[in-house]
A = this chain, B = another copy of it.
Amino acid sequence: MAQIRDVSKLAGVSPATVSRAFSDPSKLSAETLKRVLAAAEELNYKPSSLAQLFRVKRTNTVLVMVPDIANVLFARVVSGIERIAADNGYNLLVVDTKDNKDVEAAGIEMVETYRADGVIQLGERALRWLHRDAEKCTIPFVHAIGTGLDESYPTVTINNYEAARSMASYLLSLGHRKIGILAGIKGRLVTQHRLDGFRAAMEAFGVTLEDSLIEYGAYSLAGGAQSAQRLLSRRGDATAFLAMSDEIAIGAIRTAQDLGLRLPDDLSITGFDNIEFGKYCEPPLTTVMQPAERIGEVAMTLMCGVLRNELKGEIHPLLPTELVIRNSVCRVEEPS
């Protein structure tokens, strides 16, 4: 591959001039510029990114840490990130962390070793869990679909509590009282927030959430199927299930149908996220929309802001959610 030296020789100028021809053509006389460009063209010269980046000590790259790239929701967030990154000339390094803390820590180390300019975290862990020098760590970091709103770095997420509360309220307003919770992974903040939201709605309706109506599990189809199985066998009296993700809900639907239940008449089920498949279920899934792509876009936009040192506006946006009513829920007789 031709180098800047070759071009400069062919054009009869110095390497500096060639460099300027690409970075700021207005600095050159029209005549010189033409000659340089012609020489570059002839030699098919392209500047070495490696050398450029090394010189300027920026990678123009941001690292995205995603717990599971094959998960539809995460994939959509990444898609949103990607769009904005491309628009702004950033490259995306993605690592599938498998929710492993060490992998995540290695990720943030990548910016300390100049392999990425910043990191967007999609996992649960806040920066503080990933770096020993807690508050001394100043790397560009943005946390998407996380939960911490009191951090010093940008976070973009939804109000899980409110979204969950509104979903539960909807179910309660339709007369449901024995409501099972198909929760996600126990101990996860997002799980806790949604659970709190569910509980708040119930208490507003004067019903207390019994422990035996809660079943934890993975945020996945299989997780939902299993949780539903256990919950169904333990509490056959439930008239509805609040699932903490669409995948969980769809898994539960499968289980319910395998058990011969007719949905939604025998059992109402709601999801969370509004992934596309929910719309194509049988019955189509009532859920709460989480703007996944948008979250990604906003996260990357914020990242651009911090990388350019021109962050402005809200640093902890809470993106709007929305109830999506379809047919997986039915009204139930008010208890006497």
Chain A interface (Cβ within 8 Å of chain B)? 1, 46-51, 53-54, 57, 59, 61, 68-72, 75-76, 78-79, 82-83, 86, 91-96, 103, 109-110, 112-115, 221, 225, 250-251, 253-254, 257, 276-277, 279-282, 284, 293
Residue numbers in B under 8 Å from A59 (CB-CB): 50
Say how many copies of this protein the assembly contains: 2
Q: Is the CB of B95 within 8 A of A93?
A: no
Q: What are 7 A-B pairs at a CB distance below 8 A?
A: A49-B115, A50-B54, A50-B59, A68-B79, A70-B75, A221-B277, A281-B282
In the A-B complex, the 3 residue pairs with the smallest Cβ-Cβ separation, listed nearest first, are A54-B54, A50-B114, A282-B282
With beta carbons under 8 angstroms apart, the residue of B51, B71, B79, B109 that contacts A46 is: B109
A-B contacts besides A70-B72, A70-B76, 4 pairs, CB < 8 Å: A69-B75, A72-B75, A82-B96, A221-B280
Q: Is the CB of B83 within 8 A of A79?
A: no
Complex Cα distance, B284 from A74, in Å, reads 25
Q: Is the CB of A280 within 8 A of B50?
A: no
Residue numbers in B under 8 Å from A72 (CB-CB): 70, 72, 75
With beta carbons under 8 angstroms apart, the residue of B46, B51, B251 that contacts A54 is: B51
With beta carbons under 8 angstroms apart, the residue of B48, B75, B281 that contacts A114 is: B48
Q: Is the CB of B280 within 8 A of A250?
A: yes
Q: Is the CB of A92 within 8 A of B91?
A: no
Closest chain B residue to A255, Cβ basis: B280
Residue numbers in B under 8 Å from A50 (CB-CB): 50, 53-54, 57, 59, 114-115
Residue numbers in B under 8 Å from A115 (CB-CB): 49-50, 91
With beta carbons under 8 angstroms apart, the residue of B51, B113, B281 that contacts A47 is: B113
Complex Cα distance, B117 from A49, in Å, reads 12
Complex Cα distance, B280 from A70, in Å, reads 17
With beta carbons under 8 angstroms apart, the residue of B53, B95, B109 that contacts A92 is: B95
Residue numbers in B under 8 Å from A280 (CB-CB): 221, 225, 250-251, 253-254
Closest chain B residue to A132, Cβ basis: B44
Q: Is the CB of B69 within 8 A of A78?
A: yes
Complex Cα distance, B164 from A27, in Å, reads 60
Closest chain B residue to A94, Cβ basis: B94
CB distance from A71 to the nearest CB of B (A): 8
Residue numbers in B under 8 Å from A86 (CB-CB): 95-96, 103
CB distance from A169 to the nearest CB of B (A): 27
Complex Cα distance, B254 from A323, in Å, reads 21
Q: Is the CB of B109 within 8 A of A82?
A: no
CB distance from A312 to the nearest CB of B (A): 27
CB distance from A147 to the nearest CB of B (A): 23
CB distance from A94 to the nearest CB of B (A): 5
With beta carbons under 8 angstroms apart, the residue of B71, B83, B93 that contacts A91 is: B93
Complex Cα distance, B110 from A109, in Å, reads 24
CB distance from A250 to the nearest CB of B (A): 5
Closest chain B residue to A252, Cβ basis: B280
Q: Is the CB of B70 within 8 A of A113?
A: no
Residue numbers in B under 8 Å from A75 (CB-CB): 69-72, 75
CB distance from A275 to the nearest CB of B (A): 9
Residue numbers in B under 8 Å from A70 (CB-CB): 72, 75-76, 78-79, 293
Complex Cα distance, B114 from A93, in Å, reads 15
